[in-house]
Amino acid sequence: MAKAYWIAAYREIHDAEKLAAYLELAGPAIAAGGGKFLARGPAARVYEAGIPERTTIIEFASLDAAVATHDSAAYQEALKLLGDGVTRDLRFAEGLE
């Protein structure tokens, strides 16, 4: 079974306090779902249409595990705190192996 990657590219942070509240709950919820943070923070360098805001990459054992974590009650509670605090592109990609 291929690993999966949760990739969040933040386009704009509208409310740093909402983001901080989200991060307090989201980190433990993601860890509880088996997520391993591989990268997080501002982009080190951007090209093409890249935006140098926060980028997060999280590895999961499978796509099912990533989706289950996203849809879990604990992560959904974190999303409620985030609300309209950011504009981001969130996607899941399956690994090649």
**In the chain, % of residues over pLDDT 70:** 100
Question: What's the pTM value of the predicted model, to 2 decimals?
Answer: 0.93
Query: How many structural domains does the chain have?
Result: 1
**What is the DSSP secondary structure assignment for residue 44, as one 8-state letter?**
S
Altogether, the residues listed in the chain come to a count of 97
11: nearest Cα among 77, 94, 76, 84: 84
8-37 per-position pLDDT tens digit: 999 999 999 999 999 999 999 999 999 999
pLDDT (0 to 100) of residue 91: 97
Q: In whole angstroms, give the CA distance from residue 63 to residue 69.
A: 10
**In the chain, % of residues over pLDDT 90:** 97
Both tokens of residue 97?
């192996």
Residue whose structure tokens are 């704009």: 12
Query: At residue 1, does pLDDT exceed 90?
Result: no
Query: At residue 58, does pLDDT exceed 90?
Result: yes
CATH of the domain at 83: 3.30.70.100
Name the 3-class secondary structure at 36: strand
For residue 26, what are the domain limits? 4-94
